Amino acid sequence: MNTLKVGLAQISPIWLNKKATTEKVVDYIKQAGAQQCDLVVFGEAFIPGYPFWIELTDGARFDSAIQKELHAFYMSQAVSISHGDLADLCKACQSNNIACVVGTIENAKDRGGHSLYCTLVYIDKKGVIQSTHRKLMPTYEERLSWAQGDGHGLRVHSLEAFTLGALNCWENWMPLARTALYGMGEDLHVAIWPGSVRNTEDITRFIAKESRSYVISVSSILTRKDIRDHIPHHQLIVKNSETEFLANGGSCIAAPTGEWLIEPVAEKEILLVAELDHDQVKKERQNFDPSGHYSRPDVLQLTVNRTRQSVIRVIEDLK
């Protein structure tokens, strides 16, 4: 197959409710599958949601009881991949013959189980988790909630005629992170975001022009009404929200020429669907291929460390 049908799930999570948000993701996987999509993409940190409260509740105050309570609640709703929290997503992908990129907040058992990571997950059409990429560098107030990831998930995946790679939010501004994926043969770049047109309207087209690839940006929606009363200090968060939309979307697709296939869509919960033609990649690579004929590995090279980082190295005595 030379074409790929993709779905962009610009939707709101059931904010800070892992179970309900997972059920909503499964429903949209089924909806995208019913439209014969080969891939469906969800926003950054979607399960169980982005920590918007930090900038709204004096999140940098040291030893704050409010921040401790919110963080503990966030941890209770985080995803444990090793414990099978994404099993329903895997099952839905297999049943609907569709691949999925979804942002999660991961409680990583291989790092002690008490720190949170912004982890992008790729599930293939067979329902197998093929990679989990922990965000390399949380941005601004995110560092008050998320730990730094590593290079283990910097990988690409074959999907029909395409080679897919993906990054979280401002990782897409990191030239060497992009270069790592380009060097692995990426020609379909997926960028996931918490939800803002200002994030996606420039960089989506820029990456497409730089890489001569299709670029999919997917963001979430979140409004004041999504801040429900099961969340600690929900009234304080609502009170300090200056606008109705905390996340206003901005999902879009740029073609390998840098032109819009779908322009950024704002303030709307929607499943956007488009068809990508791999021939367009081949045409644009004729004059520029950043990791092929327009590269100079004899002068410039990048080293990527894909080791999963840990504070311990256990040597067992097997006697």
Query: Which residues are known to be catalytic?
Result: 44, 135, 169
Cα separation, 291 vs 294, in Å, equals 7
* Angle at the Cα of 12 from the Cα atoms of 123 and 77, rounded to 5 degrees: 70
What are the structure tokens assigned to 92, written together? Answer: 């839905």
236 by Cβ neighbours in 10 Å (0-12 / 13-18 / 19+) ranks as middle
Spatial CA neighbour of 181 closest among 199, 196, 168: 168
Contacts of 143 (CB under 8 A, 6+ apart): none
Residue corresponding to tokens 């439209």: 35
Own/partner contacts of 91-94, CB < 8 Å, gap of 24 or more, are: 91/127, 92/26, 92/29, 92/30, 92/33, 92/127, 93/29, 93/123, 93/124, 93/125, 93/126, 93/127, 94/125, 94/126, 94/127
